[in-house]
Every structure is written in C-alpha cells, then in structure tokens.
C-alpha cells in the first residue's frame, strides 16, 4: 500500500515535471483550431465606425472584426434579409478563413517556409515563434508537421525599444507601424521615441532604415 | 451646555480637512473605493457615488458626483467630467482625480469661488475607467518597477478575452469618432493599441459615453493619462486643426501656464503622432464639448515612466489642480452674457427642442443690432452690443471683441477669417451695459456672391473664460437668407443650411408658426434634398435608413438650399410685414441617444406684396 502511494506520487511528479518541461522548451498546450462560433459568417462593406455602431444597435449584428473596410459578422436569423433591405450585399465566408489565433509554433527549419502558408510572424522566442493566423492557415501548418501551442500568460511580449528619428514625420511613421509609443522627446541627437514593439514591427522599422535599439530587461529592477 | 455643544456640533461643517487622503503612495483599487466612500460619508450632502457601468469581468465602474443638492439631478446646471485610468498602467492619473475630489469637497465651506462653482455645476469624477485592467496591473506588484514591458504592471488595455489567445482592447482607441483608422490604432488584437471589434464595443467605454450622453449640459471633459508631461487637445486622429481651435488652444495655453506656475514643469501640447478613436475627439467631434488629455508626470523616458516614484504623486497633483479648477470655473454660469433671444435668462441651453418644436427663436440675438437697421455698402453704422450681468455686483475688466465674418466660410468667433470690428474693455454694472462701436459695412459680396455677413461678440473676462462665450454654440449649422433685404415680398424664401459638424448629420428645419397670423401659409418643400437611395450608395444613406431619419442628410461641410414657399391671404394688408422665423438644428448620424445640436436661425420680415417679377408681369 505504501509502495503504491509512493508510486502514485512519483507518477504525479513525473507528469508535473513533464508539463513544466513542455512549457519551458516546447510550445505549451494544444490549440483549439475549431471556429469560435459554429454559426456562418457574413462579410459586408462599411464606411466607418459609426456605421458599425448603428448596425450593432439597430440590427443587433454581432461584429467579429473589421479589416480593410470589411465587417465580418455572425449570421443570425433574418439578418441577411435585413441587410439586403438596407442595400448591403452580404457575402458568406468560411469561418476557418475568418477566425484567427495567436499561437506558439515550434521553431523548425527556415522562418520563411513557415510564413509561406500566410501566417503573420509576431515574435521570435528562443524555442518557438509566435504567429497570428486564420484557423485554415494554422491547420495547414499542423498538417505540415509543426507543433502548435497556446500562448504563455504574458504573451506576446513587446520589447522595449528606443528609436532616434530625424523628423516629426518619422514619429508618425513609427506610429503607423503600431508601435506602442510611451514617450517622444526632441533632443540635440534627434527625436527620441521610447515604445513597445514586437519583433515583426522591429523588422519593419529596420526596413524603413530606422535605427532601433532594443532596451535590455535588467535583472536589477528599478525601485520606485 | 450639553445642548449647546450638540447644536454646535451639528452646525460645524462635517468632513475631512484637505490633506487627509494620504498621497505618499499609490492607491490600489480597493483603497480608491475606500477613499471615495470616506469622502461621501464626510460630505454626504455634496458627494455621492454612482455606479455608471460594469466592466467585462463584472466590476462596477464608479463615479463620484460632486455638487450642491447632490442627490438631485439639476439639468440646468452645467456638467464637467474628469476621468482617469483608461489605461491600466497609468496609476498616477487615478491619484489626480482623488486629489481634485478632496480639494473641492474640503474647500466648499471656505472658498467662495469653489462653492459658487459647485453650486452651479455637477462635477463627475471617475477615478478608474478600466477596473479590470487596473486590478490586473496591480496583480503582481511587489513594490519594485520591472523593466520588462510584458510585466502585468505595464498592462494597458482592458481584459477582454479576444477569442484568439490574446487579451484586451485599448479603451482609448474604442471611442466612436473616427474609429477604425489604421493610423493611430491597430486592428490586431495582440497590439497595445487594438481598437476592438467595433466602436464602443467595450462596456467600459459605453459607461463613460452614457455618462457623457446623459449629462444634460456637459461643458467639458478631462481624461487624465500618463506620462510625458503633455496637455493635449483635439484632434487626436488628425494633425489638422479642429473647428474652434482658437478656443481649445486658449484653454490649453492657460492650463499649461497654470501647471508650470506651480513647480516649473512646462507641459508640451504636441506629440507628432495620431491616435484615432480616442476620448477627446469624440467629445469635440460629436458633441462639441471641450475635452483635454493631460499626460501627467514624469517627463519623457522609457517604460518605467509608467511606474514613477510615489514622491511624484503629490507634485503632479499639485501642479495639475489649478488647471482643473480653472476649467471647472469656466464651465460655471457666466456672469456677463448677451441674449440669444428675448426670453434668454443666461442659462444654457438657451433653446431646447420639445415635442411641439423649438422653445424659442434663437441666435437672432436682440442684444446685437445696428443703427440704422438697414445697411448700405460702405456706410459707417453704429453697432450696439448689450451685456447683462448675473453676478449681483459690478464685473470689472470685461473685454468685448466684436467680429464680422463671411458666414459661407465660418461662423466661429474668433476665427482666422473673421474681421475684428473693434474691442471694448471696461466695467459692466449690475444693471448691464450697452457698448457702441463704429462699423464700416463691407463693400462687395461674400464668397458666395451674397451681401450677407454675420456679426458676433465674444465676451472675455477672468470669470467667464472661453467655455461660456457666445462663440461656442454658433458654429454648427448656419441658416440664412440669401439676401439681406430687411423686408421682402411673399413668394419663395431661399435659405441655405450648412453642416458645420465633423460628422454626417440630419438637418431639422423648423418654422415658428406661432408668430404667423391666421391666413398665412408657409410650406417647407416636401423633398428638399437628400432623398434616400438604396443599394451601393454612400454610407450616409444607409445610416439614415438604419435610424429611419426624416430630415435632410448632410455630409460634413455640405450645404443645401431650401426654398420655403410663403402664401399670404387674399385680403392681406400689403404693407404690414409678418415675421417668419426659420430655425435649424443638426442631429449627428450616430447610434444611441442622438443629441440635437442647436444651430441658428433667421427671421424674415415678409409683406403681402407680390414679388417684383410678378408685378412687372402685370
């Protein structure tokens, strides 16, 4: 009996340690690649945010997201007819092409090969990449043998960056790359921007010829 | 003796002394709630806590209402709103709102100016707009600022489960004016500037929007952020100047000077990058309510700027207090004013929409007139401006700037295209005062070939700064006569209306039929302009269909011509004129409760004579 208890403890211990090991060096827990919502998805063209707000309030549409002037929404009972009446031309979409996930993917082979399926790289971590992709794209990666895992609690983690730019126009350019700007300061060296950026944004900043300094994460934290 | 002591205790002002709240360290959300409750229990007649919404994770969003008669809604009083912690990591912003609340409540009994402002206004303070994010930001706090930006201490957004493995929407990119622009916000859920799936998708922004919408007479909103030491004003989404820039800038300049005067920190008003879907743009763009974003201490730097030492709290609060108090004072009842219409008492709004129509003719001010009334090009006339005084005593150092402008370009006063006719500075006695300035009537026509100009007066003095000048409410819709003839013949009155709002809007035109004698008929055209079109048409028509709009639809800046047909009775006295008052207002094409934005009007003095062309035909 005592031996059985010890054995059980050992098994639990091994499983626990095994999970820890996975989280540290693997890609974490398995990702659910089923659509968030089983209902069909419609896509309509919209002009601006006011129009979405009106649709939400007046027709109770349930927006999934908006990209490039296209509103993706769940198809609810009678909504297609109502949209037709108002002059919209709803297009039915495949949910696998609409719903997205941000996931870890094991680092294997060249990054360019992984990106070929259409996913968007966000961060490069030591043992895995973090990418955004539609369910269809991520399923394709899985079929190619890549291991997919869920994000850790503080992921994706922005890097603190310091960018020195020559003109105020460049500040807006950095902003348009969706860097989370903490502060901007005009100095004799130029305009110094501090902000948070993911690796893909840092790549884009560099592609625009900006000098990007990644600030170190020090072990000695600052006392307030 | 005992009885005397009890009476004395009852009569003494209750409450805390200023400085009772400890600002030597940051308040966590529980402590914020406790401080709010302490203020209410100390000043029960002046403060109360109202729940204005619930966050995604089910936390209540609390507002501290501060006013005399705090338990009563007083719609005639102005409202001012101060909010903080749209962004979870900006803890220092919360401290400023607590400090302001404590200052107001502890000074009510002793500071006559604070007392007057609190008597005149309903002040709303929301220390934490984003309770879920703030709780998350505090969750791993161990008293040391991390340098890793992914540490929860530096969480910015709310805690929406985005459904793709990421969390959070940036609440200050989720407001419904120019929402969704890729410059200044992100469509990607993992970004810190993710704007959400739609405007006002988040319960936290809905809560503040509802507070804004339900305020019957909102004068200003301040949203505290950190850091960098900035004092920002609209627009956030664009680098261009908004309408009313001069008013906003004058408040901003004064605020920056007031901040600098305390500890010598000069805040900048420039950031060089855009932010779309942010709070102040919605307030100014959709409501024409002045709104500002102070970015508090420390100055520019890296991510640890979100985690300033607690020793920065008090100086940050101290330097921002005078600017906040000045803005509150601006929003109070003006002491000197001119009437918009004969029944105007100086309270705003001066004209209201009721089920039976407009309550008064308005923006046809009886307090601005010329002698002679009929103007000839190039003639010098006397321009009269009459001022009234609410204060009960003389108001010194009052300046009146009187402008004329081409109404086809702008109805803002002052604006770069308005011409200053003259200024007067002096004392307005309790009975009021009339000022006369010479005006050389312009020769030629305005930009549309009309001999039509608008005159406006801007009153300035220390107690009535920009938020209460006449200029604030004249700019949204212009309705005016094509001609400036004093008396015109019956037939067709041609008017034009322009949407001066920055959003597509529905124009409502109303004729004040109470002034028209029996037998006269006045017809608005059945389909003036803006017929609904369906299918592949511009969004404005779809929006109108969604709202079942009945008015005329106008894009920003668009003008429509509206012919109004007037038929006198057969037995009309051809020489006796009739006043026909036409008024306009705009209703922005946005969802939710749609507030009417007051416009202006024109009074036509019409006789029963046949129009001249018909006379000749005879």
Nearest to B404 by CA among B458, B364, B344: B458
CB B156 within 8 A of CB B168: yes
Q: Please give the Cα distance from B303 to B407 (Å, whole number).
A: 49
What band does B449 get if pLDDT is binned at 50, 70 and 90?
low
Identify the weakest region by mean pLDDT among B103-117, B194-208, B519-533. B519-533
Backbone angles phi, psi at B216, to 5 degrees: -75, -20
User: Could you tell me which of A213, A203, A217, A219 has the C-alpha nearest to residue A161?
Assistant: A213
SS3 sequence of B455-495: EEEEEECCCCCHHHCHHHHCCCEEEEECCCCCEEECCEEEE
CA trace torsion B95, B96, B97, B101 (10° rounding): 100
The domain over range A41-95 is classified in CATH as 3.40.5 = yes
Give, in order, the Cα–Cα distances in Å from B48 to each of B124, B331, B400. Answer: 10, 21, 39
What tens digit of pLDDT does each residue of B388-401 get? 887 788 888 888 88
The interface predicted TM-score (ipTM) is 0.87
pLDDT at B592: 65
**Closest Cα in chain A, distance from residue B82 (Å):** 22
* B291 has a pLDDT exceeding 90: yes
Q: What is the rounded average pLDDT of the residues B421-429?
A: 93
Average pLDDT rounded to a whole number, residues B449-460: 75
Task: Indicate the pLDDT class of residue B334, thresholds 50, 70 and 90.
Answer: low
Q: SS3 of B115, please?
A: helix
Query: Higher-confidence residue: A18 or B193?
Result: B193
- CA atoms within a 13 Å half-sphere pointing along the CA-CB vector of B309: 6
The listed range with the strongest mean pLDDT (B134-143, B175-184, B406-415, B507-516) is: B134-143
CA distance B337 to B326: 19
User: Tell me, what's the pLDDT at B470?
Assistant: 31
- Residue B161 pairs in a beta bridge with B167
C-alpha to C-alpha distance for B511 and B520, rounded to whole angstroms: 13
By Cβ distance, the residue of A56, A59, A103 closest to B198 is A56
The half-sphere exposure of B2 on its side-chain side, counting CA atoms within 13 A, is: 0
Q: d(Cα A28, Cα B295) in Å, to the nearest integer?
A: 39
Max CA separation in chain A (angstroms): 77
CA distance A23 to A152: 8
Least Cα separation, residue B541 to chain A (angstroms)? 9
pLDDT at B611 over 70: no
Whether B582 contacts B479, CB under 8 Å: yes
Flag if B534 and A100 touch (Cβ within 8 Å).
no
Give, in order, the Cα–Cα distances in Å from B571 to each of A177, B518, B568: 73, 11, 8
Does B500 score more than 80 pLDDT?
no
Of A168, A183, A196, the CB nearest to B192: A196
Residues of B classed as catalytic = 295
User: What pLDDT, in 10s, does the model give residues A159-207?
Assistant: 999 999 999 999 999 999 999 999 999 999 899 999 999 999 999 999 9
| Cα(A109)–Cα(A117) distance, integer angstroms | 14
> How many CB atoms neighbour CB B536 within 10 A?
9
Judge whether residue B259 has pLDDT over 80: yes
Q: Say whether pLDDT at B533 is over 50.
A: no
Chain A partners of B555 at a C-beta cutoff of 8 Å?
Answer: none
Residues 352-381 of B with CB under 8 A from A: none
| A16 at B interface, C-beta within 8 A | no
**Second CATH level (architecture) for the domain A159-214:** 2-Layer Sandwich (3.30)
The C-alpha R_g of chain A, in whole angstroms, comes to 23
- Identify which of B184, B189, B589 has the shortest CB distance to residue A50: B589
pLDDT in tens, A195-206: 999 999 999 999
Question: Which residues in chain A are classed under CATH 3.30.70.790?
Answer: 159-214
Write the pLDDT tens digit of every residue in B21-53. 999 999 999 999 999 999 999 999 999 999 999
Helix axes B245-263, B313-331, angle to 10 degrees: 140
Cβ <8 Å between A50 and B199: yes
Report chain B residues whose CB lies below 8 A from the CB of A35: none
Residue B423 has pLDDT above 50, yes or no: yes
CB contact under 8 A, A156 and B190: yes
215-254 in B: which are within 8 Å (CB) of A? 227-228, 239
Instruction: Give me the residue from B164, B184, B542 closest to A86, CB to CB.
Output: B542
Radius of gyration of chain B (CA): 27
Query: If pLDDT is split at 50, 70 and 90, which confidence band does B345 have?
Result: low
The pLDDT value given to residue A16: 40
**Contacting residues of B for A224, CB less than 8 Å apart:** 143-145, 307-310
Minimal CA–CA distance to B577: which of B552, B548, B549, B608? B608
Q: Is the dihedral of CA B69, B75, B79, B83 positive or negative?
A: positive
In this predicted model, what pLDDT tens digit does every residue of B265-282 receive, in sequence order?
999 999 899 999 999 999
The packing angle between helices B131-138 and B91-107, to 10°, is: 120
Nearest beta carbon to residue B590 from set A53, A101, A183: A53
| pLDDT > 70 fraction of chain B, expressed in percent and rounded | 78
**Chain A residues touching residue B306 (CB < 8 angstroms):** 182
Amino acid A160: pLDDT: 97
Q: Give me the percent of chain B exceeding a pLDDT of 90.
A: 44
Q: What is d(CA A129, CA A122) in angstroms, rounded to the nearest whole number?
A: 8
Tell me the shortest Cα–Cα distance from B12 to chain A, in angstroms: 41
User: In the prediction, which pLDDT does B417 show?
Assistant: 74
Q: What is the pLDDT of residues B77-99, one digit of tens each?
A: 889 999 999 999 999 999 999 99
Which residue, chain included where needed, has tokens 């609409």?
A98
The answer to whether the CB atoms of A55 and B149 lie below 8 A apart is no
CB A27 within 8 A of CB A129: no
- Candidates B390, B478, B476, B460; CA nearest to B430 is B390
Mean pLDDT over all residues of chain B?
81
Q: What structural domains does chain B harbor?
A: 2-331 (3.40.630.10), 353-472 (2.60.40.10), 478-617 (2.60.40.10)
In this prediction, residue B6 carries a pLDDT of: 27
User: Is A65 part of the contact surface with chain B (CB cutoff 8 Å)?
Assistant: yes
Higher pLDDT, B145 or B607: B145
Q: Who among B150, B198, B542 is closest to A49 (CB)?
A: B198
Q: Are B398 and B387 in contact (CB under 8 A)?
A: yes
Which of B25, B191, B275 to mutate to test binding with chain A, by most A CBs within 10 Å of its CB? B191
Q: Residue B439: which residues within 8 A CB-CB, separation 6 or more?
A: B370, B380, B381, B382, B383, B402, B404, B421, B422, B455
Test mutation, B198, B532, B535, chain A, max A CBs within 10 A: B198
Name B581's bridge partners: B512, B603
- Length of chain A (residues): 224
List chain B residues with CB under 8 Å of A102. Answer: 164-166, 189-190
The pLDDT, as a whole number, for residue B341 is 59
- Dump pLDDT digits (tens) for B350-360: 444 444 444 43
Could you tell me which residues are beta bridge partners of residue A63? A73
Can you name the residues that pair with B554 across neighbouring β-strands?
B505
Q: Is the pLDDT of residue B174 over 50?
A: yes
Q: How confident is the model at residue B595 (pLDDT cuts 50, 70, 90)?
A: low
> A129 at the B interface (CB within 8 A)?
no
- By DSSP bridging, strand A100-106 and strand A148-149 are antiparallel
Neighbour order of strands in the sheet with B492-499:
B477-481, B492-499, B559-567, B521-523
Cα–Cα distance measured from residue A161 to residue B370, given in angstroms and rounded to the nearest whole number: 63
Kindly indicate the confidence band of residue B244, based on its pLDDT and cuts at 50, 70 and 90: confident
- DSSP single-letter state for residue B431: T
Residue B194 has pLDDT above 80, yes or no: yes
Interface test with A, best of B160, B189, B195, B197 (most A CBs within 10 A): B197
Which of A42-56, A113-127, B494-508 comes out lowest in average pLDDT? B494-508
Neighboring chain B residues of A64 at a CB cutoff of 8 Å = 197
* B609 dihedral zone (left: phi>0; alpha: psi -120 to 50; beta): beta
Tell me the pairing of strands B78-84 and B218-226.
parallel
My answer on whether omega of the bond before B414 falls inside 30° of 0, hence cis, is yes
Residue intervals in chain A for CATH 3.40.5? 41-95
What is the C-alpha separation between A140 and B81, in angstroms, rounded?
A: 51
pLDDT at B411: 61
Q: Is B140 on the interface with A (CB under 8 A)?
A: no
Nearest to B333 by CA among B79, B41, B54: B79
DSSP label at B220?
Answer: E
Give the model confidence (pLDDT) of B140-152 as tens digits.
899 999 999 999 9
């Amino acid at each position: 009996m005592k031996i059985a208890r010890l054995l059980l403890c050992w098994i639990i211990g091994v499983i626990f340690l095994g999970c820890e090991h996975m989280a540290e060096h693997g890609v974490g827990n398995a990702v659910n690649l089923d659509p968030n919502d089983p209902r069909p998805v419609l896509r309509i063209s919209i002009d601006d945010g006011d129009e979405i707000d009106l649709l939400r309030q007046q027709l109770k549409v349930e927006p999934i997201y908006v990209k490039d002037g296209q509103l993706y929404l769940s198809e609810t009972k009678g909504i297609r007819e109502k949209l037709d009446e108002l002059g919209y031309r709803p297009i039915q979409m495949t949910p696998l092409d609409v719903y997205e996930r941000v996931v870890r993917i094991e680092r294997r082979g060249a990054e360019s090969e992984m990106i070929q399926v259409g996913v968007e790289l966000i961060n490069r971590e030591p043992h895995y990449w973090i990418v955004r992709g539609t369910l269809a794209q991520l399923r394709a990666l899985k079929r190619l043998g890549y291991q997919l895992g869920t994000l850790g609690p503080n992921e994706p983690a922005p890097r603190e960056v310091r960018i020195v730019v020559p003109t105020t126009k460049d500040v807006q350019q950095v902003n348009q790359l969706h860097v989370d700007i903490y502060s901007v300061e005009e100095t004799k060296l130029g305009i110094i921007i501090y902000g948070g950026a993911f690796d893909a944004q840092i790549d884009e900043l560099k592609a625009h010829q900006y000098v990007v300094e990644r600030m170190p994460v020090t072990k000695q934290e600052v006392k307030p | 003796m005992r009885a005397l002591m009890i009476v004395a205790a009852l009569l003494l002002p209750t409450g805390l002394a200023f400085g009772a709240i400890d600002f030597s360290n940051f308040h966590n959300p529980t402590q914020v709630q406790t401080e709010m409750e302490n203020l209410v229990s100390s000043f029960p007649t002046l403060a109360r806590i109202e729940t204005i919404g619930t966050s995604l994770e089910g936390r209540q969003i609390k507002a501290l209402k501060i006013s005399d008669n705090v338990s009563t809604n007083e719609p005639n009083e102005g409202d001012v709103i101060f909010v903080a912690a749209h962004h979870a990591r900006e803890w220092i912003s919360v401290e400023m709102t607590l400090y302001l609340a404590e200052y107001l409540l502890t000074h009510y009994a002793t500071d006559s100016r604070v007392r007057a402002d609190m008597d005149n206004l309903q002040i709303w303070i929301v220390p934490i707009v984003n309770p879920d994010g703030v709780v998350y930001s505090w969750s791993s706090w161990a008293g040391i600022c991390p340098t890793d930006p992914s540490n929860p201490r530096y969480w910015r957004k709310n805690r929406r489960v985005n459904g793709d493995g990421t969390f959070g929407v940036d609440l200050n990119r989720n407001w419904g004016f120019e929402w969704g622009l890729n410059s200044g916000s992100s469509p990607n859920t993992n970004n810190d500037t993710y704007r959400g799936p739609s405007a006002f998708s988040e319960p936290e922004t809905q809560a503040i929007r509802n507070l804004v919408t339900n305020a019957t007479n909102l004068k200003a909103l301040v949203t505290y952020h950190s850091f960098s030491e900035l004092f920002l004003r609209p627009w956030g989404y664009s680098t261009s100047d908004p309408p009313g820039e001069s008013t906003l800038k004058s408040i901003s300049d004064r605020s920056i000077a007031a901040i600098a005067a305390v500890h010598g920190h000069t805040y900048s008003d420039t950031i060089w990058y855009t932010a779309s879907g942010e709070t102040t743009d919605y307030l100014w763009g959709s409501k024409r309510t002045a709104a500002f974003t102070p970015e508090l201490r420390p100055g520019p730097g890296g991510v640890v700027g979100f985690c300033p030492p607690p020793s920065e709290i008090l100086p940050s609060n101290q330097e921002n207090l005078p600017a906040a108090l000045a803005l509150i004072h601006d929003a109070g009842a003006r002491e000197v004013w001119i009437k918009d219409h004969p029944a105007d008492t100086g309270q705003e709004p001066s004209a209201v929409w009721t089920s039976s129509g407009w309550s008064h003719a308005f923006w046809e001010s009886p307090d601005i007139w010329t002698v002679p009334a009929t103007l000839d090009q190039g003639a010098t006339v006397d321009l009269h401006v009459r001022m009234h005084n609410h204060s009960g005593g003389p108001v010194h150092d009052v300046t009146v700037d009187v402008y004329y402008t081409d109404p086809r370009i702008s109805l803002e006063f002052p604006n770069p295209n308005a011409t200053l006719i003259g200024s007067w500075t002096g004392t307005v006695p309790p009975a009021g005062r009339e000022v006369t300035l010479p005006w050389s009537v312009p020769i030629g026509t305005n930009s549309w070939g009309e001999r039509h100009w608008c005159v406006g007066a801007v009153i300035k003095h220390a107690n009535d700064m920009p938020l209460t000048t006449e200029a604030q409410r004249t700019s949204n819709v212009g309705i005016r006569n094509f001609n400036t003839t004093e008396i015109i013949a019956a037939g067709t009155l041609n008017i034009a209306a322009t949407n001066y709002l920055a959003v597509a809007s529905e124009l409502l035109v109303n004729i004040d039929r109470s002034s028209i004698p029996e037998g006269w008929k006045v017809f608005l055209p059945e389909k003036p302009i803006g017929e609904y079109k369906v299918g592949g048409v511009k969004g404005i028509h779809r929006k109108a269909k969604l709202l079942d709009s009945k008015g005329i639809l106008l894009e920003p800046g668009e003008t429509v011509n509206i012919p109004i047909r007037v038929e006198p009775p057969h037995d009309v006295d051809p020489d006796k004129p009739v006043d026909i008052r036409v008024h306009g207002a705009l209703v922005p094409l946005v969802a939710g409760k749609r507030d009417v934005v007051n416009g202006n009007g024109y009074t036509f003095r019409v006789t029963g004579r046949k129009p001249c062309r018909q006379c000749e035909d005879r």
